[in-house]
Chain A
Amino acid sequence: MANKVVIFPSSKQVEAQAYKAACDAHFAATFEPGGQFAYIRNDAFGQWVVPYYGHPWNMDGVTPFNPPAEIEALRVDGVLHDFAVWPEEE
C-alpha cells in the first residue's frame, strides 16, 4: 500500500504514539472494526516513523482520503517524507 511516512524526532516518542493511536482509532471506526492502520518503528537514525494517514494511502485504490483536521494536528512535531530509511539487518 503506497503511503508516505511521518518522521518524529527521537525525543518525540510520546507525540508519535499519540498520532499513531489517533490514526488507528479513526481507521477502526471508519474502515475496519478492530483494525489497525499504523505501526511505529525507529528508523536508522533513531527517529520515530509512523505511516501517514492520508494521500496516497486510501482504502480502495480509488477514493481519495482526506484525514480529519484533529488527526493532522497531531503530526505537527513530525515531518512528512516519501519513505523511511530502515535500520540495517540484524
Chain B
Amino acid sequence: MLNLSLGLSLGSLATQRRGGWSPLDLGSKLIAWWDASHGVTLSGNQVTAWTDRKSGHSLTQATSSARPTWSATSFNGAPGLTFDGSDDELTGTGAGLLAALPSGSSPSELWGVVQQDAPGSDAGVRHLGGYGGVGALDRRILTRSQSPGPVSTGGLQFGDGSANRVAGMPDSASLQSRHVMRGVYLSTGGTYHQDGSIGNTVAATPATTASRLRIGGSTQAVANLLWQGKVRDYMVTLPLTSDEAAKLLAFLLPRRAL
C-alpha cells in the first residue's frame, strides 16, 4: 500500500515575519488570511486543508477529486493553489470562523490575490470565494464574469435578502492573468476594486448569513460556479481606513508576481 498522505505543514500560525508591514499588523481588523505560503496541508500535491494565519481557521476538502492542487511555483514562480473550475473548492464551517464573520448588514471586506484562467469566451460566472448561506440572496462573494469583448471581468456580489446585487469594473478592465481583487461591503452597498482602481458601487443593504466560507466556488451547500485559476492570498477584514487599505494594497500588489 502506498500512502501519499504527507500532511505537509508549510509554516506556522505564529506571526513570524522578517520585518516590514504585514497584514497581521491590521490587528483586530484582520479576520482571516489564507496565504499559499503558510498552513497548507497536502496529500500528494492535493490540498486537504488550508489554515489561516490570523486565527487558525481551516478550510478543508475531504474528497480527493475535488481538492485544489498546490505547488511552490504555480503562481508565476511563487506558491499558489490551483482550482480546476470543475469541482475544486475548500470550505470552512468551523464555529469560530463563522462567529468571526460579519453577518447581516455588518460591514466587511474580501481581498484576493488571484490568477484568473477562464478564457474570455467562457460565458459562465465563476466565484473566487466568499461567505454566506444557501444561495445568492444571503452571501458576499468575489466573482469573475464575461463582459463584451468578450473578456473576463472581476466584480462582487451580495444578497440583500430579496435580490442578488452586482458591481464590477468597467468592461475594459480585464481580470485575465494576475490581480488583486477587493470587495467592500457596507451597510449601504458594495464597491468593487481591482489592483487599486475603484470600480462600480451598488447600493443595497446586505443580509448575509454566515453558514460557511468557501474559496473556489459559490457558498451554497453544494458548490457551483467554480473558480478556474490560482489563488495566492484570500482575506477577510473588517472595513479598513484609507491608510490601512493603502498599506494592504502595497503589500499585496507585488504578490501578483507580474
Shortest B137–chain A CB gap in Å is: 9
Q: List A33-90 residues whose CB lies under 8 Å from chain B.
A: 33, 35-39, 41, 51, 57-61, 83-84, 86-90
A60: chain B residues within 8 A (beta carbon): 4, 44-45
Which residue of chain A lies nearest to B135 when distances are taken between CB atoms in the complex? A90
* Interface residues of chain A: helix, strand, loop or mixed (majority): loop
Sorting the interface of chain B by its residue count into under 10, 10 to 19, 20 to 34 or 35 or more gives: 20 to 34
Q: If the complex has contacts A31-B3, A31-B5, A60-B45, are A36 and B86 also in contact, measured as CB distance less than 8 A?
A: no
Tell me the bound Cα distance from A1 to B61 in angstroms: 11
Rounded to whole angstroms, the CA-CA distance of A58 and B2 in the bound complex is 13
Q: Does B68 contact A (CB under 8 A)?
A: yes
Interface residues of A (CB under 8 A from B): 1-3, 5, 27, 29-33, 35-39, 41, 51, 57-61, 83-84, 86-90
**B66 is contacted by which of A35, A51, A89 (Cβ under 8 Å)?**
A51
What are 5 A-B pairs with beta-carbon distances under 8 A? A1-B84, A37-B65, A38-B64, A57-B64, A60-B45
CB neighbours (8 Å) of B5 from chain A are 31-33, 35
**Contact (Cβ within 8 A) B88 A31:** no
User: Which A residue sits closest to B74, measured CB to CB?
Assistant: A61
